[in-house]
């Protein structure tokens, strides 16, 4: 049953991604319906009595589920329709991944209460920084469009180009980006701290120096440096975008990338 819901949600996401911008109501309703189906199927797939499913596909699907909600809410406050063509197709792929790569069920019996909190906070941190990365890509495209000659700009029409032209000013976009990064950094800090508590209770050590820990801490340092540079050095523009995309790429490797290698390439089952 979940598989059919995943497929239906993916079809709704794809359909809404490529509808003309003028169809605002169908896009909004279709996205919301896809999001509800996605969330219902994901919840039914992830949770069972006294157990929870973990894996790179589930994590990625949950991350994009929250990212779709963030896009939907953000687009109602600002004209960010061009983000739709980036977020929804990625979400359509992510939504069906758990059916292909189911991961494994982990028993919660004997586990610390911090375990589920750690997972929830991690997903929120991933989701916030994922939408920040999409936002950064939009800013790169917007800046490139602004530097295009008027004649070439007129020839490079299309609904996506027009959607880029309707974006808020770059300064406004930059303020939104740093709000997302600041919130994501806070959640990532809580992820690291809850991970310390979880690791201490389960493994008897505060840090397990594996790929996940190293990449997570490196991403945390990059986002922290970006916020500090913004605060004291006035970092902005290309510097901010480069830090954002690099930090997100490393964070993606921290769990999703390492779990993909373990589950799909090496066929190992780990927590």
Closest CA to 205 of 185, 116, 104, 213: 213
Task: Walk across the sheet containing 51-54 and list its strands.
Answer: 47-48, 51-54, 104-107
Q: Is residue 117 part of a domain?
A: yes
Kindly report which listed range (20-34, 49-63, 86-100, 249-263) carries the lowest average pLDDT score: 249-263
DSSP output for 1-43:
-HHHHHHHHHHHHHHHHTS-TT-HHHHHHHHHHHHHHHHHHHH
Kindly state whether residue 271 falls inside one of the protein's structural domains: no
Q: Flag whether 237 is in a domain.
A: yes
Instruction: Say what the pLDDT of residue 113 is.
Output: 67
**Integer Cα distance of 137 and 67 in angstroms:** 15
Q: Which structural domain range is residue 253 located in?
A: 2-265
What does the pLDDT look like over 11-32, one tens digit per residue? 999 999 888 877 888 888 999 9
Cα(123)–Cα(62) distance, integer angstroms: 7
Give a yes or no: residue 270 inside a domain: no
Based on the structure, what is the number of domains in the chain? Answer: 1
Mean pLDDT (the chain) is: 81
Q: In this predicted model, which residue has the larger pLDDT, 257 or 237?
A: 237
Is residue 270 scored above 60 in pLDDT? no
């Amino acid at each position: 049953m979940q598989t059919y819901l995943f497929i239906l949600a993916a079809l709704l996401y794809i359909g809404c991604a490529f509808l003309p911008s003028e169809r605002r109501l169908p896009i909004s309703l279709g996205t919301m319906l896809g999001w509800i189906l996605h969330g219902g199927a994901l919840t039914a797939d992830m949770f069972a009595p006294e157990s929870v499913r973990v894996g790179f596909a589930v994590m990625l699907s949950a991350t994009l589920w929250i990212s779709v909600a963030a896009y939907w809410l953000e687009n109602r406050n600002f004209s960010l329709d061009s983000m739709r063509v980036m977020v929804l197709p990625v979400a359509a792929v992510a939504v069906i991944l758990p059916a292909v790569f189911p991961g494994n069920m982990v028993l919660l019996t004997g586990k610390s209460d911090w375990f589920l909190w750690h997972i929830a906070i991690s997903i929120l941190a991933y989701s916030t920084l994922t939408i920040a990365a999409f936002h950064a890509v939009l800013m790169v495209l917007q800046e490139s469009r602004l530097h295009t000659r008027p004649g070439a700009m007129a020839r490079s029409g299309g609904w996506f180009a027009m959607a880029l032209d309707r974006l808020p000013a770059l300064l406004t976009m930059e303020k939104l980006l740093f709000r997302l990064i600041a919130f994501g950094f806070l959640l990532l800090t809580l992820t690291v701290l809850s991970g310390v508590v979880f690791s201490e209770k389960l493994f008897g050590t505060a840090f397990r120096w594996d790929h996940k820990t190293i990449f997570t801490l490196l991403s945390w340092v990059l986002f922290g440096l970006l916020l500090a540079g913004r605060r004291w050095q006035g970092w902005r523009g290309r510097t901010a975008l480069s830090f954002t995309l690099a930090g997100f790429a490393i964070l993606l490797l921290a769990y999703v990338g390492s779990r993909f290698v373990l589950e799909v390439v090496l066929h190992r089952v780990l927590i």
